[in-house]
Amino acid sequence: MNKTEHKCNYEHKLPVKGISYGCLLLVAFLVLSPPLLRFGEAKTMGAAVMAGTRKVPDLLEWSQLPPLPDPIGFAGPFVGVSKDVLIVAGGTNFPEGPSWEGYPKVWYDQVFVLTDPEAKWTTGFKLQHPLGYGVSVTWNEKIICLGGSDKDRHYADAFMLYWTGNKLETIPLPPMPRPSAFSAGVLVDNIVYVAGGQEMPSSTAALRNFWSLDLSGAAQNMKWEQLEPWPGKARILPVMATQEGDVFLISGARLYKGTDGKATREFLTDCYRYNPQSKRWKRIADAPRPIVAAPNPGIPLGHAHILFLSGDDGENFFRAAELKDKHPGFPPDLFVYHTITDTWTKMGKFPKSIPGDLGKYRNAGTWPPVTTTITKWKGRYVVPTGEARPGVRTPNVFWAKPTAIAGSFGGVNYVVLGAYLVVLIGMGFYFAKRGRTTDDFFLAGRRIPWWAAGLSIFGTQLSAITFLAMPARSYATDWALLILNIGIFAIAPFVIYLYLPFFRRLNITTAYEYLEKRFHVSIRLFGSLSFVAFQLGRMGIVVLLPALALSAVTGLNVYLCIALMGILSTVYTVLGGIEAVIWTDVLQGVVLIGGAFVALGIIVGNLDGGFSQLVSVAIENGKFNPAHLNWDWTSDALIVVILGAIFTNSLVPYTTDQAVIQRYLTTPDERQAAKAIWLNGFLAIFAGVLFLLVGTGLFVFYKANPQRLAPLEATDQIFALFIARQMPPGLAGLVIAGVFAAAMSSLDSSMHSISTVVTTDFVRRFIRRLSESKYLLFARCLTIALGLSGTATAMLMASIEIQYLWDFFLGMMGLLGGTLAGLFMLGIFTQRVGTTHAWIGAVASIGMLLYVKLATDLNSLLYGAIGVLTCFSVACLSSMIIPTKVDRLTGLNIYNVPKSTQPIRGPGY
């Protein structure tokens, strides 16, 4: 280190000291918070702080469509939507009088059509014959009708109803394997599933059947498949549902021969989950009570909740003849099942209202219906007609809209968030005084201490994606991805001893300058453009995810969140350059780690059994599973994760990513850069364990408190929901501010590194006569443009559905970074590979990656390994087939490691 470097480092002590004290105060505040956060002390913090004191919100907003033009109503109708028209067909009722007075049940063939919520029902259409109690689902503008019964028999018939605009067409389908009525059905993608039922009116045993029909082909080629049924009792009138591609079978009634020789019922509560990919059933938590004959299917809410309406609990089933007109109807309770925590919760009630005068048809008022079908129309769920109580129907048609569950962020949290963001902007203004040259703007004058550089590497890799999505992963699955973070530590010596000497001793500003020295300027430009392309895509991802989470918990418009993050990060990056970027990284890293500790403390403090309960429940549910021992290359199998840890998550970013390598170059010397890399590796494992433990804690917490778990649009919002609803005011604002800053940190790193690459590898490389001030002005103007483009990219991606943004992010890194990592490996570890061979390897790698992504289902974690190995092996093979002379490699590969910081000119110059 020369004297100038020492002087720069000494001059930097004042801001370091100030920020260090600030960080210590933050840590002290965060660490001392958990003891204050137990439920027993909730009163001292305000009853509104803890979700347990809040009223459970209604999940549906109820209204009514025009009632059917039949004052009695129908049970067991076929219901669906065709060409945006609501159709109710068939069904049964007691037109002459109630069943307890001996009047007969009548089946119908009439069809009712509603073209608009404000219109009147249209009649005059008919089924081919009277029919009711079948299964109906809407698919591809058609209503699929399956099975059912009339007064004499049950049917296996299957057909489609299609509205042409003025008439109703019937299209035949292959009949079911056996006749069946009182079944349940659900549609998953293009496949309809049917379960349970009764084969004949006189049957004293239910069917234990599970059938599927793929609707995607031509009708004449469709064929029913008889699948393995659930591992439970046969049943009629179950309820089915789908969520995230799986099929759920809920409750139902077992039929058995009574003492009079006729069928009677056992009301069931057992429930099952079926995965179409593995074709396996799994028993899930029993329903709180029987939910027999409830409107089918259940309503999916968010990404993991399913809501079931009312249903018959069996309490008054055997007393119907005794109660007659005094039957109170079916319970109004609404039950919600959560597919991740495997828990049931009673959330809200059906709007039941029974007047004193029941009217001529004994159905006045509003009653929770059973034996009807739910369908989605114009963004809401229709619950038409149905059985109000035994022997009595209702003509009412209910229309339910899922309510948005948005927590109030609160004034205190907004103040804290605003103050935090003001501090970040202030840091930009402070460091603006130092940015007089491009060396200051790009490398901070090489005066950053090793610990700050290490925290900055960690901070820039600790995006909001990591902070929110890693806990979400372990909350929803297990710890199989911890190996990814271990890989960062494992790869550290490889980077320090084999890559760092070239980055530090060649006197370069960007990593891609090495590629020109080793190969040719074309390879350098290819590397730069590959990096820029990846970072442009990354900017949108790292801003979008936290914007979605913040929008969910604060109620702010997602596009406003994106705009705020984009504008503020652009401001302080343009002002303070890499120095502002690094020190804001340090601050947000401390806040996020501290916030994760506090979250864990709150979780443990609010579990009756404390940390031991967290561990025992997690073990019981397999949440600590460290690896998936299989050879499925499309899943998170152990071999897939290991390869992803070595290549996609470690080798690619730490040897090719300018945003990371630039931190190596900001320290005073190579030794301090090595310390920074080791610190980042340690923090990666530490943070990985912490974030996964937080996610597991969230699972245990919400399993114990399912009533606090609001329906979310994505799994990645779960931690943000916890922060906003379970943390006290002020602290929640600070942690959310940290999430905000993490996204801004990732965005500013991308903006700044792209600016560095473009200015150095393109402008300065090809336009050599500009003054230093002009280069600096160009870099700052480009940063502004990049900030605007990154913001626009995030807004564009806000409309794309991505199940796990973490997977998508890693997939992009492997796809665009694997080839680049292969080129660096070729340069450092080979002597015979020249420019032509490198190009052959790069083209082969890109082609292979495109094929893998478009034509296979391989896990995206493998993209890095595929890209690196293809590029390296093809280039080496081509160098044997087409040998060329490679000159002047002194100091450019591991066989000639550079000894000093003097410029080394390679064959590319």
pLDDT in tens, 287-299: 999 999 999 999 9
Give tens-digit pLDDT for 223-278.
999 999 999 999 999 999 999 999 999 999 999 998 888 899 999 999 999 999 99
| Residue 166 CB partners (closer than 8 Å, separation 6+) | none
Q: Is the dihedral of CA 647, 649, 654, 660 positive or negative?
A: positive
Are the beta carbons of 703 and 284 closer than 8 angstroms?
Answer: no
227 vs 358, higher pLDDT: 227
pLDDT(394) > 70: yes
- Helices within 610-704 (DSSP H only): 610-620, 638-643, 652-656, 658-664, 670-704
Chain centroid to Cα 871, Å, comes to 32
pLDDT of residue 591: 87
Please choose, from the candidates 904, 803, 887, the residue with its C-alpha nearest in 3D space to the C-alpha of residue 304. Answer: 803
Please give the DSSP secondary-structure letter assigned to residue 99. Answer: G
Q: Buried b vs exposed e over 654-673: b needs ≥16 C-beta within 10 Å?
A: bbbbbbbbbbbbbbbebebb
Residue 796: band (very low, low, confident or very high) from pLDDT cuts 50, 70, 90: confident
Give tens-digit pLDDT for 531-548.
887 777 777 777 877 787
pLDDT of residue 799: 67
Q: Which of 72-86, 110-124, 418-432, 686-700 has the lowest mean pLDDT?
A: 418-432
Measured N-to-C along each axis, helices 558-605 and 731-758 cross at an angle, to the nearest 10 degrees, of 130
> What is the C-alpha to C-alpha distance for residues 722 and 897, in angstroms, rounded to an integer?
51
Give tens-digit pLDDT for 230-241.
999 999 999 999
Residue 696: band (very low, low, confident or very high) from pLDDT cuts 50, 70, 90: very high
Give tens-digit pLDDT for 735-747.
888 888 788 888 8
pLDDT of residue 542: 77
Q: What is the mean pLDDT of residues 502-513?
A: 90
Q: For 794-801, which contacts have Cβ atoms below 8 Å and span 24 or more sequence positions?
A: 794/539, 794/540, 794/541, 794/543, 794/544, 794/547, 794/562, 794/566, 795/559, 795/562, 795/563, 796/540, 797/540, 797/541, 797/544, 798/544, 798/547, 798/548, 798/558, 798/559, 798/562
Please give the DSSP secondary-structure letter assigned to residue 39. Answer: G
pLDDT(467) > 90: no
Percent of the chain with pLDDT over 70: 89
| Residue 374 CB partners (closer than 8 Å, separation 6+) | 79, 295, 296, 297, 299, 309, 381, 382, 383
112: exposed, middle or buried (C-beta count within 10 Å: 0-12, 13-18, 19+)? buried
pLDDT(35) > 50: no
Rg of the chain (C-alpha set)? 32
Are the beta carbons of 587 and 22 closer than 8 angstroms?
Answer: yes
What DSSP string describes 837-872? HHHHHHHHHHHHHHHHHHH----GGGHHHHHHHHHH
Q: Which residues pair with 154 in a beta bridge?
A: 149
Please give the DSSP secondary-structure letter assigned to residue 33. Answer: S
pLDDT(152) > 70: yes
Are the beta carbons of 287 and 271 closer than 8 angstroms?
Answer: yes
What DSSP string describes 304-369? TEEEEE--B-STTGGGHHHHGGG---S--EEEEEETTTTEEEEEEE---B--S--TTTT--SB---
> What is the C-alpha to C-alpha distance for residues 674 and 584, in angstroms, rounded to an integer?
21
User: The tokens of 524 are what?
Assistant: 């350098």
- Helices within 727-862 (DSSP H only): 731-758, 764-766, 772-797, 805-829, 835-855
pLDDT of residue 867: 93
Please give the DSSP secondary-structure letter assigned to residue 645. Answer: I
Residue 7: band (very low, low, confident or very high) from pLDDT cuts 50, 70, 90: very low
Give tens-digit pLDDT for 479-495.
998 999 999 999 999 99
Are the beta carbons of 82 and 139 closer than 8 angstroms?
Answer: no
pLDDT(550) > 90: no
- For tokens 């703007």, name the residue: 441
pLDDT of residue 805: 53
Residue 907: band (very low, low, confident or very high) from pLDDT cuts 50, 70, 90: very low
- Report the SS3 class of residue 293: coil
Q: Which of 344-348, 369-373, 428-432, 637-641 has the lowest mean pLDDT?
A: 428-432
Please give the DSSP secondary-structure letter assigned to residue 546. Answer: H
Residue 30: band (very low, low, confident or very high) from pLDDT cuts 50, 70, 90: very low
pLDDT of residue 733: 86
Give tens-digit pLDDT for 844-873.
999 999 899 889 999 988 999 999 999 999
pLDDT of residue 11: 36
Residue 59: band (very low, low, confident or very high) from pLDDT cuts 50, 70, 90: confident
Are the beta carbons of 57 and 710 closer than 8 angstroms?
Answer: yes
285 vs 717, higher pLDDT: 285
Give tens-digit pLDDT for 811-826.
555 567 889 999 999 9
pLDDT of residue 683: 94
| DSSP helix, strand, coil percent of the chain (3-state; round to 5) | 50, 20, 35
Respond yes or no on whether the N-terminal peptide bond of residue 179 is cis (omega within 30° of 0).
no
Residue 592: band (very low, low, confident or very high) from pLDDT cuts 50, 70, 90: confident
Please state, rounded to an integer, the average pLDDT across all residues of the chain.
87
pLDDT(398) > 90: yes
User: The tokens of 646 are what?
Assistant: 């070595």
What DSSP string describes 579-604? HHHHHHHHHHHHHHHHHHHHHHHHHH
Amino acid at 457: I
- Beta strands 380-384 and 375-377 are antiparallel
CA-to-CA separations, 656 to 124, 531, 662, 893, in angstroms, rounded: 70, 8, 10, 16
Q: Which residues pair with 719 in a beta bridge?
A: none
Are the beta carbons of 708 and 345 closer than 8 angstroms?
Answer: no
CA-to-CA separations, 622 to 602, 628, 633, in angstroms, rounded: 22, 11, 22
Are the beta carbons of 548 and 555 closer than 8 angstroms?
Answer: no
User: Considering the entire predicted model, what is its pTM?
Assistant: 0.85
pLDDT(25) > 90: no
889 CB neighbour count, 10 Å cutoff? 17
